[in-house]
Amino acid sequence: MIWFKKRNSKLTSQQLKDIPEGLWIKCDSCGEIIYKKKLDRNLWVCPNCNFHFKVTSNYYLRIVLDEGTFEIFDENIRSTDPMKFKDRKKYSDRIKAYSNKLSITEAVVVGLGKIDNIPVSIGVMDFRFIGGSMGSVVGERVARAIERAIDKCIPLVIISASGGARMQESILSLMQMAKTGALLSKLDDAGLPYISVLTNPTTAGVMASYASLGDIIIAEPKALLGFAGPRVIQQTIGEELPPGFQSSEFFREHGFVDKIVSRAELRRTIAQVLRYLYRPADTIKSKIFDNE
């Protein structure tokens, strides 16, 4: 019904470009105008150019985990405003505004679940929440996800999407890089697998800590990755950046990403890799989902 109604309204594609929240969506990469339902059926991947739209943390949990296996943890860990930070707006107000607007309480969701029947400790970041920035809460939730993997002798999977450390928590945000990195050394010592999935965008403090420390690093196609943002680099060197600079493909070529995997193949690829890396019989009996 609505389909026809829209068609009859004779909107030109130029007009459609100005309506991102409608039935039609313009691809950020190739400019193609795509019918929203079609895009949704295609896991929010542009059918024309394979550009992967940003999706929510819940969306990833749904497409990666076995149905009904996700158990959320650490949802009760929330931000305070340790610096009493205020720029153009108070940080505490920002946090409130984002929590009210979104159905999530912070920029990462963590818990336990199964991928093709393999138990995992999982964390998924959400770019909508202050640019997926990492403050004390993101750091603590990720830290507990790592510890849960160690405690239960199961693999760790983190799907990242982040602009970096959260400036409003200043040095404490920087220290979350050290906190998560230090705990990942324990996971590594325990011989447990960690798969890091990089989505658009994963940069700065998150890229320079846990996102880069996976035993296997998978990236979605055409994601913006890297340490410094492209604008900062451009301002520093004073020249144009080459096309494709800091894309997933760029980092695959330079040896920092193992595989570029389309969203539709993500779940299967993680499961396949884990079948090689994770052998529960060799480790202490997996404690997940029993005796609890």
Partner 1 sequence: MPPEFTLHFERPIVELQKKIEEMKVIASRDGVNLNSEILSLENRLNKLKVDIYKNLSRWERVQVARHPRRPNTLDFLNRISSNFIEIHGDRNYRDDPAVVTGFASIGKHKVVVVGQQKGHDANENIKRNFGMMHPEGYRKALRAMKLSEKFRLPVVILIDTPGAYPGIGAEERGQAEAIARNIREMSRLKTPIVISIIGEGASGGALGIGVGDVILMFENAWFSVISPEGCAAILFRDKTAAPQSAEALKINAYDLLELGVIDEIIPEPPGGAHSDCIIAAKNLKTAITQKIEELIAIPLDELLRLRIEKYRRMGVFKEV
Contact (Cβ atoms closer than 8 angstroms) between residue 218 and residue 258: yes
- What mask of x and - would describe binding to partner 1 in positions 78 to 97, judged by CB under 8 A? xxx-xx-xxxx---------
170: phi > 0 → left, psi -120 to 50 → alpha, else beta; which?
left
CA 13 to chain centre: 31
- What mask of x and - would describe binding to partner 1 in positions 196 to 235, judged by CB under 8 A? -------xxx-xxxxxxx-----------xxxxx--xx--
In sequence order, the β-bridge partners of residue 260 are 219
Number of residues that bind partner 1 (CB under 8 A): 68
- What mask of x and - would describe binding to partner 1 in positions 110 to 129, judged by CB under 8 A? --------------------
Residue 170 touching partner 1 (CB under 8 A): yes
**Helical H runs in 103-169?**
136-152
In angstroms, give the least distance from the CB of 198 to partner 1: 10
The residue (of 119 and 201) whose beta carbon lies closer to partner 1 is 201
In angstroms, give the least distance from the CB of 200 to partner 1: 15
Residue 171 touching partner 1 (CB under 8 A): yes
In angstroms, give the least distance from the CB of 229 to partner 1: 8
In sequence order, the β-bridge partners of residue 118 are 115
Exposed e or buried b per residue across 247-277, where buried means at least 16 C-beta atoms within 10 angstroms of its C-beta: bbbbbbeeebbbebbebeebbebbbebbeee
Residue 245 touching partner 1 (CB under 8 A): yes
Q: What kind and span of H or E run contains 186?
A: helix 170-189
Residue 100 touching partner 1 (CB under 8 A): no
> Which of 14, 237, 276, 291 touches partner 1 by CB under 8 A?
237
Contact (Cβ atoms closer than 8 angstroms) between residue 43 and residue 30: no
Residue 73 touching partner 1 (CB under 8 A): no
In angstroms, give the least distance from the CB of 30 to partner 1: 24
CA 161 to chain centre: 3
In angstroms, give the least distance from the CB of 178 to partner 1: 5
The residue (of 11 and 213) whose beta carbon lies closer to partner 1 is 213
The residue (of 137 and 218) whose beta carbon lies closer to partner 1 is 137
Pairs from 48-55 (Cβ < 8 Å, separation ≥ 24): 50/221, 50/222, 50/262, 51/27, 51/221, 51/222, 52/199, 52/200, 52/220, 52/221, 52/222, 52/223, 52/262, 52/263, 53/25, 53/27, 53/28, 54/127, 54/128, 54/161, 54/199, 54/200, 55/263
The residue (of 68 and 242) whose beta carbon lies closer to partner 1 is 242
Residue 145 touching partner 1 (CB under 8 A): no
Contact residues for partner 1, defined by CB under 8 A:
76-80, 82-83, 85-88, 135-137, 139-140, 143, 165-179, 181-186, 188-189, 203-205, 207-213, 225-229, 232-233, 236-237, 241-242, 245-246, 250-251, 254-256
